[in-house]
């Protein structure tokens, strides 16, 4: 179903975005690759059969109409948009400065909304299209140390669910993907309380699903017509299911996890004295 189609992927320079680009190229799709790292985008393009490198800053909202025009004119259409670009966060809400929230909402929520809003009318006029939103399990579950990230990713799901409901009868298919830990640099690139880059990964991410496997699972879900895919295993998958089945139990579990972590930290700090 991907042969001969034109797919536009944001955040295509690494991780899930790059793996999706390569997987789609192997299935005969043409790729528009967007992000900020031009060298990395060009490297991904080398492994794709037919690709246009179209770098732009996701929050440069004034440029979005021109960027959409360039992407559309390349093949005379865009069959699918993957809203994948984003950043994460690792900090307590109590300590996080407001500019971190503003940046997170702009990058992870307003940027994909702006791009979709500019592209959607063209898709509808052309008779249909596909939009894929890469959210997160943190967009279903309010995760500790991710208050800004969870806020943005919850919003991303809500927006795309609404777009689906309003436009499905017009030929617009919307798929929301909520990954758990994927083996990428998401934790290294996460923002801390003061907005600086965290710079280190963690064992959960390092032991997560390879992005190549994630890409295969996403494309399989799209082929099957699934509107939502929780791409997780173990505790993350259980938490997402519990949020809908028994939210009170999930809230207790999350609060207990933070209390246990705080107690362990206090014990460790005391032992250092």
Closest CA to 79 of 21, 17, 28, 129: 129
**Shared-domain flag, residues 29 and 156:** yes
**Shared-domain flag, residues 183 and 203:** yes
Rounded distance between C-alpha atoms, residue 131 and residue 90, angstroms: 28
Would residue 249 count as lying in a domain? yes
Kindly report whether the global pTM for this prediction surpasses the value 0.85.
Answer: yes
159 is catalytic: no
User: Model confidence over 59-104: pLDDT tens digits?
Assistant: 999 999 999 999 999 999 999 999 999 999 999 999 999 999 999 9
**What sign for the dihedral angle of Cα 80, 87, 243, 165?**
negative
Provide the number of structural domains found in the chain.
2
**Shared-domain flag, residues 118 and 195:** yes
Would you state the pLDDT for residue 133?
98
Would residue 41 count as lying in a domain? yes
pLDDT grade for 270, boundaries at 50, 70 and 90: very low
Would residue 253 count as lying in a domain? yes
Would residue 211 count as lying in a domain? yes
CATH code: domain of residue 75: 3.40.50.720
Rounded distance between C-alpha atoms, residue 25 and residue 94, angstroms: 44
Would residue 48 count as lying in a domain? yes
Would you state the pLDDT for residue 264?
60
**Shared-domain flag, residues 253 and 125:** no
Would you state the pLDDT for residue 269?
52
Q: Which of 101, 149, 159, 262 is catalytic?
A: 149
**Shared-domain flag, residues 87 and 184:** yes
User: Model confidence over 6-48: pLDDT tens digits?
Assistant: 999 999 999 999 999 999 999 999 999 999 999 999 999 999 9
**Shared-domain flag, residues 186 and 242:** no
Chosen domain end from 232, 247, 263: 232
Name every residue whose Cβ is closer than 8 Å to that of residue 266 and which is 6 or more positions away in sequence. none
Cα 82–chain centre separation: 9
Cβ 6 vs Cβ 28: under 8 Å:
no
**Shared-domain flag, residues 202 and 264:** no
Would you state the pLDDT for residue 263?
56
Q: Is the pLDDT of residue 182 over 70?
A: yes
**Shared-domain flag, residues 166 and 272:** no
Would you state the pLDDT for residue 262?
66
Chosen domain end from 217, 232, 247: 232
* Residue 87 DSSP label: -
> What does the mean pLDDT of the chain come to?
94
Rounded distance between C-alpha atoms, residue 143 and residue 161, angstroms: 21
**Where in the sequence is the domain holding 222, given as residue range(s)?**
6-232
Name every residue whose Cβ is closer than 8 Å to that of residue 250 and which is 6 or more positions away in sequence. 141, 239, 242, 243
**Shared-domain flag, residues 93 and 222:** yes
Rounded distance between C-alpha atoms, residue 6 and residue 11, angstroms: 16
**Shared-domain flag, residues 43 and 122:** yes
**Shared-domain flag, residues 201 and 273:** no
Alpha helices in the chain (DSSP H): 15-26, 38-46, 64-75, 98-105, 111-125, 147-167, 203-206, 211-223, 234-245, 247-272
Would residue 1 count as lying in a domain? no
Would you state the pLDDT for residue 257?
86
**Shared-domain flag, residues 179 and 246:** no
Would you state the pLDDT for residue 266?
47
DSSP 36-64: S-HHHHHHHHHTSSSEEE----TT-GGGH
């Amino acid at each position: 179903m991907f042969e001969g189609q034109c797919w536009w992927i944001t955040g295509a320079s690494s991780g899930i975005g790059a793996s999706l680009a390569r997987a789609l190229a192997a299935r005969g799709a043409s790729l528009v690759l967007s992000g900020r790292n031009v060298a990395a985008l060009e490297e991904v393009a080398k492994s794709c059969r037919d690709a246009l490198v179209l770098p732009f800053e996701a929050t440069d909202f004034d440029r979005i109409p021109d960027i959409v025009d360039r992407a559309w004119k390349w093949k005379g259409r865009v069959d699918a948009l993957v809203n994948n670009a984003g950043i994460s966060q690792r900090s307590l809400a109590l300590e996080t400065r407001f500019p971190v929230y503003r940046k997170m909402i702009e990058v992870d929520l307003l940027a994909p909304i702006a791009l979709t809003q500019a592209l959607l009318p063209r898709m509808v006029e052309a008779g249909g299209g596909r939009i894929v939103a890469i959210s997160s399990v943190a967009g279903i579950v309010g995760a500790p140390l991710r208050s800004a990230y969870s806020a943005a990713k919850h919003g991303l799901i809500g927006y795309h669910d609404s777009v689906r409901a309003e436009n499905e009868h017009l030929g617009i298919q919307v798929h929301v993907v909520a990954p758990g830990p994927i083996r990428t640099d998401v934790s290294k690139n996460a923002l801390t309380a003061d907005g600086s880059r965290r710079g280190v990964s963690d064992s959960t991410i390092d032991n997560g699903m390879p992005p190549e496997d994630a890409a295969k699972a996403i494309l399989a879900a799209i082929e099957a017509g699934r509107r939502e895919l929780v791409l997780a295993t173990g505790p993350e998958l259980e938490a997402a299911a519990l949020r809908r089945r028994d939210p009170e139990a999930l809230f207790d579990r999350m609060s207990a996890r933070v209390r246990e972590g705080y107690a362990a930290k206090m014990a460790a700090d005391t032992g250092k004295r």
